[in-house]
């Protein structure tokens, strides 16, 4: 069964600090992995998409890593800002199959002043 597990479930950090969110998956055959940011009550917005051959991808203060061997990904946020407060969702795509996208439950990040 395809699954995506995210940790921690929630996280509180002070403004200016760094943090790392984790995503472990069992989706096979793997196609790509995406990180989304979702503000409360809004739709998710894509941060990065990573394919099998990519190890690291950055988008401003967001850096995602992928280890396809261990089936793990991380999202590192540098110099956090209050506007980073949101849920971060990991989504893994299978190359084939009826359930092509598997969503994690998300990590809820709160950045405090």
Partner 1 sequence: DAGVTQSPTHLIKTRGQQVTLRCSPKSGHDTVSWYQQALGQGPQFIFQYYEEEERQRGNFPDRFSGHQFPNYSSELNVNALLLGDSALYLCASRHTSGDNTGELFFGEGSRLTVL
Return residues touching partner 1 (CB under 8 A): 6, 31-32, 34, 36, 41-46, 49, 51, 89, 91, 93-95, 98-101, 103-106, 108
Scanning the structure block, which residue is given the tokens 């969503």? 103
Rounded Cα–Cα distance for residues 13 and 24 (Å): 22
* Cβ at position 14, least distance to partner 1 in Å: 23
> What's the chain's length in residues?
113
Closer Cβ to partner 1, 17 or 42, answer by number: 42
CA atoms in the 13 A half-sphere facing the CB of 88: 30
Closer Cβ to partner 1, 15 or 39, answer by number: 39
């Amino acid at each position: 069964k395809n699954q995506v597990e995210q940790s921690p479930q929630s996280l509180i950090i002070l403004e200016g600090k760094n943090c790392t969110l984790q995503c472990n998956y069992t989706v096979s055959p793997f196609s790509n992995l995406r990180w989304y940011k979702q503000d409360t009550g809004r739709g998710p917005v894509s941060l990065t998409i990573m394919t099998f051959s990519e190890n690291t991808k950055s988008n401003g203060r967001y850096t995602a890593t992928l280890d396809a061997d261990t089936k793990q990904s991380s999202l590192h946020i540098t110099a956090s800002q209050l506007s980073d407060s949101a849920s971060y969702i990991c989504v893994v795509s299978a190359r084939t199959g009826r359930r092509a996208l598997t969503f994690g439950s998300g990590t809820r990040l709160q950045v405090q002043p």
